[in-house]
Amino acid sequence: MNRYARNLRGYGPFPPDPEWPGNARVAVQFVLNYEEGGENNVLHGDAASEAFLSDIPGAAQWPGQRHWNMESMYEYGARAGFWRLHRLFTRAGIPLTIYGVATALARNPEQVEAMKDAGWEIASHGLKWIEHKDMPDADERAAIAEAVRLHTEVVGERPRGWYTGRCSENTVRLVAEEGGFDYISDTYDDDLPYWLEIAGRDQLIIPYTLEANDMRFAVSPGWSDGEDFFNYLKNAFDALYEEGETDTPKMMSIGLHCRLVGRPGKIMALRKFIDHIQSREGVWCPRRIEIAEHWAKHHPPQQAMQPSRMARSEFVERFGGIFEHSPWIAERAFGLELGPAHDCAAGIQNALCRMFRSASRDERLGVLKAHPDLAGKLARAGRLTAESTSEQASAGLDLLTDEERATFTSLNTAYVERHGFPFIIAVRDHDKASILAAFQRRIDNDGGTEFTEACRQVERIAHHRLKDLFS
């Protein structure tokens, strides 16, 4: 099977109403990444010092050496930045989710105690704040297990949420296979949670953010002024707040770091943003675990039709009749590079139409000839496909007067004699009168024009049939 693994569709044009508590128009969720003491450091058994997310421009790792300046910037986050953020959020009455690196938590007991006393969720941010992209499966699986063990030992309970950050292509699968997490956040692909089937179980994904994130104080392009950060957060919130009124409520994740936004010159932007959202009604500021619990209760996983995962026989059985008596179209469509984006009416329509359009003229003519006459002998004998029977009935073609039937018979005969195939029209777009008008208008078209129009109508019929099937 030629299948494309990425999901480029998501919820499509109609995301679900999350039904946030209190009919909130937006859920604003703050994450504080706690990494200080878990970063790359030769003291931690790593080969080199840290080089990521600090105020040192163009920082590079120092192999085999301690980087004193880098260490001290991370230490600022633990010694000063954390407490400044702790005061801000506890005074504002907004609970945080901590993404806690297990080894960092173990080296910061006073901060862990403050997190717990504040009622903050402490999710796992992995064992160490290091790169995982080149880590073998077995090593990463072992690191996940050790992160859970150490986290449970230090915090007093196992983590229910997970975010690696510097992850590998295997991270989400391996964490899901661990089996104990209410949610995973190693994605950035949506404004709402969603379910992902992994290893035979449904895993909740709560996407995170790298753009509404203070890490952009330490990367390029990024921010050097707190006002830039505030304006970005405000604009993002205002857009989502408006969508929550006119469209569908969403979720806004905000990522923070003790050593970055915890600096005096940056935290005022965060304070201004908190004042801004607290001046609005209909804003919910939960921990991520509360989002997970809410989603599991109000939007449990659903078993939808997934054509991209069907075996050939099932695929052809389901879609072989979409183009009248032409299962070869579905046979060929099965061989395309199908993926989750095709698991909807528009996706299968596109796949089937591609095969119809790329077929030879004789093959397409065969599809046209497979269609029955409108209100013809097959209809009167009850020998139409179920789809054609329903479609003709929808336009009242099963309830013709003798005069109307005679008119259709005469037009059908003249049309076939002129063009070599039956008159085809998507009857569900019409009523009896407009069908007759189209019949009379099109019958005198030249052969090429009418062949093209008939093919277009065949595709339109397929559109309606697939809409029915997926609804």
Catalogue the active-site residues.
Answer: 371
Please give the Cα distance from 60 to 77 (Å, whole number): 20
Q: 422-437: b or e for each residue (b if 16 or more CB lie within 10 Å)?
A: bbbbbbbbeebeebbe
Q: How many residues does the chain have?
A: 471
Check residue 43 and report its DSSP letter.
G
> Before 221, cis peptide (omega within 30)?
yes
Q: Are strands 194-198 and 201-205 parallel, antiparallel or unpaired?
A: antiparallel
End-to-end CA distance of the chain: 26
Say what angle helices 447-470 and 386-394 make with each other, to 10 degrees. 100
Partners of residue 129 on adjacent β-strands: 39
Q: Is 67 helix (H, G, I), strand (E, B) or coil?
A: coil
Can you tell me the distance from the alpha carbon of 179 to that of 137, in angstroms, rounded to the nearest whole number? 16
- Nearest CA to 251 out of 263, 259, 239 is that of 239
Element (H, E) at 123: strand 121-124
Tokens matching residue 205: 């994904």
Residue 304 burial (10 A CB sphere; 0-12, 13-18, 19+): exposed
Q: Which of 252, 260, 258 has the alpha carbon at shortest distance from 114?
A: 258
Alpha helix ranges (H) inside 358-401:
361-370, 377-380, 386-394
- Please report, as a single letter, which amino acid is at residue 88: L
Cα separations (Å) of 27 from 192, 253, 286? 10, 8, 7
Residue type (1 letter), 242: E
CA distance 389 to 387: 5
